[in-house]
Amino acid sequence: MAAQAKITEPKIVNGINVDDLFALIDGVKRDVAKGKTNWRVTTTWQGQARSRAQVDSSEIGGERVPRRFSIDIDEPRELGGTNRFANPQEHLLAALNACMTVGYAAQCAVRGITLERLEIETNGEIDLRGFLGIDPTVPAGYENLSYIVRIKGSATKEEFAEVHEAVMATSPNFYNVSRAVSLNRLWSSSNRQMGTLPPATQGRPNSPVAQVPFDRVIALGTSGGGCGVICFALSE
């Protein structure tokens, strides 16, 4: 009777297949083209302040990956919407938090750290005088964002601090909102003619977008809210 091949179970930490993750890393090291990705979202107006963002596909390593998702977006009634869905600012903060969440889960996984709890809370203030065009000297968006990371797992304070620094160095969306990103803008009229969007008015920059600094105070070994950037609740 032929001997059966031994089946090696994949290493799963925090729900992530660590073997697959290391294989991805090795593949990109060997062929940088496999690390090239492209992300695309098309947004259409749905009436009033509502819009719908549609995802049809992405490109990873030169390969088209079909993906079909829709995201509905609205505004509070106080800002002209119907309050049926989260608004663009909340989606922006959610995208930042979600991207960092992936980073924490993956960085912990490759270190063998088991997560029990992870929560990221981000907030910022926008002065409506800029959005409403009342005062051209008032920025239309965020000047600062503050975030709190509450994390609990099998790591020490020092290990979690190392994970935190790795996430800040590698999170795409942390990079996107904390540094200037060039915006190459085109416009399309109803007759489908394409052209360059007219320059921004009222002295506001056209490209790149304004830099958004982060509150980087680190409070080690504390728990609960209001502790700065990262709160550690260590497992016994």
Q: How do residues 159-210 score in pLDDT, each as one tens digit? A: 999 999 999 999 999 999 999 899 888 776 665 554 444 444 433 444 333 3
Question: In the 8-state DSSP scheme, what is residue 130?
Answer: H
* Average pLDDT score, the chain: 85
- Phi, psi of 204, rounded to the nearest 5 degrees: -80, 150
Residue 125 confidence (pLDDT): 97
Residue 1 confidence (pLDDT): 52
Percent of the chain scored above 70 by pLDDT?
Answer: 77
Kindly report the CATH number that applies to the domain delimited by 87-181+201-236: 3.30.300.20
The string of pLDDT tens digits covering residues 4-56 is: 666 788 999 999 999 999 999 999 999 999 999 999 999 999 999 999 999 99
Assigned fold of 12-85? GMP Synthetase; Chain A, domain 3 (3.30.300)
Residue 224 confidence class, pLDDT cut points 50, 70, 90: very low
Residue 233 confidence class, pLDDT cut points 50, 70, 90: low
Higher-pLDDT residue of 190, 224: 190
Residue 147's nearest CA partner among 184, 122, 182 is: 122
Rounded Cα–Cα distance for residues 114 and 15 (Å)? 10
Higher-pLDDT residue of 203, 3: 3
Rounded Cα–Cα distance for residues 68 and 153 (Å)? 34
For residue 63, pLDDT over 70 is answered with yes
Q: Where are the alpha helices (DSSP H) in the chain?
A: 18-30, 88-110, 128-131, 157-170, 172-178
Residue 126's nearest CA partner among 174, 88, 97, 70 is: 88
Residue 226 confidence (pLDDT): 33
Higher-pLDDT residue of 220, 229: 229
Q: Where in the chain do CATH 3.30.300.20 domains reside?
A: 12-85, 87-181+201-236
Q: What is the pTM of this model?
A: 0.81
Rounded Cα–Cα distance for residues 117 and 102 (Å)? 13
Residue 229 confidence (pLDDT): 52
